[in-house]
Amino acid sequence: MNRASPPLLEANSLGKRFPGVVALDDVDLQLYDAEVLAVIGENGAGKSTLMKILAGIQLPDQGQIRLSGKETVIRSVEQATANGICLIHQELNLCENLSVAANIFLGREPRRFGLIDERRCLEKAGEVLQQVGLNLPPQELVGSLTIGQQQMVEIAKAISTDARMVIMDEPTSSLSQKESESLFEIIHRLKQQGVSIIYISHRLGEVERLADRVTVLRDGKNAGELARDEISHNAMVERMVGRELSNYYSRTVTESDETVLKISNLRTSANPHCPLSCEIKRGEIVGIAGLVGAGRTELLTTLFGVTPAIDGQITVTGKACVIDNSETAIRHGIGLVPEDRKLQGIVLEMSIRANTSLPTLKSLSAMGFIDAAAERALAESMKQRLNTKAPHIEQPVKFLSGGNQQKVVIAKWLAMKPNILLMDEPTRGVDVGAKQEIYRLMDELAQTGVAILFVSSDMEEVLGMADRILVMHEGQIGGELHKTNFSEESVMHLATGGAIKTETKIA
């Protein structure tokens, strides 16, 4: 890093406000050659907004941006790309009906005689995919990939533009451990090639590993900067939240013998050859670990009825039942916090209020007419309980930051008062403070007797929160771990199809 020369990118006193929200207020940022700069902050601190401004998607209300010392106004994405800035969005932005290759080269298709050179396109896409360690035929449709794979495609797309500055907005939030590892490798490689990277993440462990420097934002303002040797979990948390966080995972186990959910020989449509069986007790928190593509999400969606089971039995509180749509699932007291919040979790155009009440609307109504007061009260109380950051409950959810959107999704299901709560990556994109709140909430729910089944790719989270871990591997439940023999190694061992006999059945 050469600090003497002007920084590659320098933003001075950037400001941006939205109706009712000051997203950025006088924010400075420097990015030097070949460094990894981590930008951290709570949900809604303005990280994504800052990045969108740098990438030309939004215009600042005030402030300047200098590229290598030269003042520049970045007005469009094309201009940003021309200046070597490339942003990988927090939310996926791919065309589902196009192939992986077509998505990677969208707008920059290699041409021959004015037509798209299909072959070269596939070839080059294959190379880039190889680089990011994604073993996929480039002609595969993006819609058929898992979210993690789609995220890798986004990254491949960014790499293929030969950018000098790559901005990654929470890239790992939908990646599995393995995929994350290969992403880190890519980041190292890029750094060696002289590319600078802005890295946004709520997983502070990653930041500790990767970052050369950390810039902290709080409520749209600069809240400090940490040099390489100052970076530590506690220092970061303190600057982000303004106080120290202790007792991160709070779990008070309550024993119960009553089985609320029992599945036997359940065969999901994704993995029809793997019958699944397990039991969950009242007030128990069960984590499902495994690699992406191990069939974890499919298990949850099957239990929730959105992808009906092919065969097998689901027993809810002792009664056998057929759950072939989500309506029935809700009637049985099952809720699902889905994997892809933008697509499945929330209705972007609708307000916080309307989203929160969506699954419970019928119970908030009389003769089919919505009781507006009750609905508002519900949304208001949920907003307070989850500490959602938004000016008011009428704010359309699309204007919320990623983590706050996740809180709305959780609020939706809390409002339903479920008996069984299925959670797919419950803390994806949620900041440390809010994560702690969600963990506390899960614990609280469990203590009131709710059985929670959650899927997570965050190993720490699974180990910290679960009373019992089911590890899935290639569509099967590879093994079960009890609190006494929790360890990262044993989970990984099972997740990669390791020997089952020794690890399991040690009840």
Partner 1 sequence: MKSGKIIGILLLLIYVCVATAMLNDAFIKPYNLQNLLRSSSMFAIIGIGAVLVIVTGGIDLSTGSLIGLVGCTMTMMLKAFKENPPFENGAWLLWLIGLELLLVGIGWAIWDQVLRKRLGPGRHYTGKIAISLIGIVFLAISLAVERTAVGEWVTMAAAVGLALWLSAHLGLLHGLLITKLKLQPFVVTLCALMAYRGLSRYLTGDKTQGLGTEYNDSLRLLAIGKPCTATAIMLFLAVIMLVVGIWKTFISRRSRSTPAQKTNGIIILIIGAVLACVSSSRYWDGWKTQFGETIATVAGFQLQFFSLEIPEAAVARPATLMAFAMWPMLLCFAGLAIWSAKKSWWAQEKSPRQIMIWLLPAITVAVSLFALLMIKQWIGDQTVSLTDMSSAFQGSVDSAADDQFVLGINVILLKMLGIFLSMAALFGGILWLGKIWTKQAGNLGRGLWILTGFFAVLWLLSNTAIHETPVQTPFFILLIIGALSALFLNKTVYGRYFFALGNNEEATRYSGINTDLVTIMAYVLCALCGGIGAVLFTLDSNNVEPSGHGSFYELYAIAAAVLGGCSLRGGEGSILGVIIGASIMRVLYNAPDMIGIASQLEMFTIGFVLLIGIIVDETARRMAANRDRKVVAEPLTPLTATVPPQESA
- For ligand ATP, the binding residue among 239, 389, 435, 493 (CB under 6 A) is 389
Q: Minimal distance in Å, beta carbon 198 to ligand ATP?
A: 12
Query: Considering the rule CB under 6 A, would residue 475 count as an interface residue with ligand ATP?
Result: no
For ligand ATP, give the closer residue by CB, 438 or 469: 438
Query: Considering the rule CB under 8 A, would residue 348 count as an interface residue with partner 1?
Result: yes
Binding mask 323-342 for partner 1 (x = CB under 8 A): -xxxxxxxxx---x-x----
Cβ atoms of 507 and 482 within 8 Å: the answer is: yes
Query: Considering the rule CB under 6 A, would residue 45 count as an interface residue with ligand ATP?
Result: yes
For Mg ion, give the closer residue by CB, 171 or 402: 402
Q: Minimal distance in Å, beta carbon 358 to partner 1?
A: 4
- For partner 1, the binding residue among 116, 278, 310, 350 (CB under 8 A) is 350
Query: Considering the rule CB under 8 A, would residue 505 count as an interface residue with partner 1?
Result: no
For partner 1, give the closer residue by CB, 139 or 328: 328
Going by their DSSP bridges, the two strands 285-290 and 468-473 should be labelled as parallel
Query: Considering the rule CB under 6 A, would residue 41 count as an interface residue with ligand ATP?
Result: yes
Cα dihedral 92/96/100/106 (nearest 10):
-80
Binding mask 76-115 for ligand ATP (x = CB under 6 A): --------------x-------------------------
Query: Considering the rule CB under 6 A, would residue 44 count as an interface residue with ligand ATP?
Result: yes
Full 3-state SS string of 240-280: HHCCCCCCCCCCCCCCCCCEEEEEEEEECCCCCCCCEEEEE
Query: Considering the rule CB under 8 A, would residue 15 count as an interface residue with partner 1?
Result: yes
Going by their DSSP bridges, the two strands 476-482 and 468-473 should be labelled as antiparallel
**Rounded Cα gap, residues 82 and 86, in angstroms:** 9
Angle (CA) 387-463-469 rounded to 5° is 110
Encoded tokens for 189: 């490689």
Binding mask 404-433 for ligand ATP (x = CB under 6 A): x------------------------x-x--
Q: Minimal distance in Å, beta carbon 324 to partner 1?
A: 7
Cβ atoms of 217 and 223 within 8 Å: the answer is: yes
Q: Identity (one letter) of the amino acid at 218?
A: R
Stretch of residues binding partner 1 (CB under 8 A), selected from 15-23, 119-127, 136-144, 233-241: 15-23
For partner 1, give the closer residue by CB, 253 or 347: 347
Query: Considering the rule CB under 8 A, would residue 361 count as an interface residue with partner 1?
Result: yes
Q: How many CB atoms lie within 10 A of CB 312?
A: 15
Q: Give, as ranges, the residues between 392 and 431 that touch partner 1 (CB under 8 A).
A: 392, 394, 412
For ligand ATP, give the closer residue by CB, 43 or 476: 43
Question: Which H/E stretch holds residue 71?
Answer: strand 70-72
- For partner 1, the binding residue among 2, 3, 4, 19 (CB under 8 A) is 19
Q: Of 203, 167, 204, 173, nearest to 187 (Cα)?
A: 167
Q: Which residue has the tokens 């974890």?
A: 296
Separation in Å, CA 429 to CA 2, 125, 131, 387, 408: 33, 29, 26, 15, 13
Point out which residues bind Mg ion (CB under 5 A).
48, 90, 402
Q: Give, as ranges, the residues between 30 and 89 that touch partner 1 (CB under 8 A).
A: 59-62, 73, 75
Encoded tokens for 281: 């007790």
Residue 78, SS3? helix
- For ligand ATP, the binding residue among 43, 99, 176, 177 (CB under 6 A) is 43
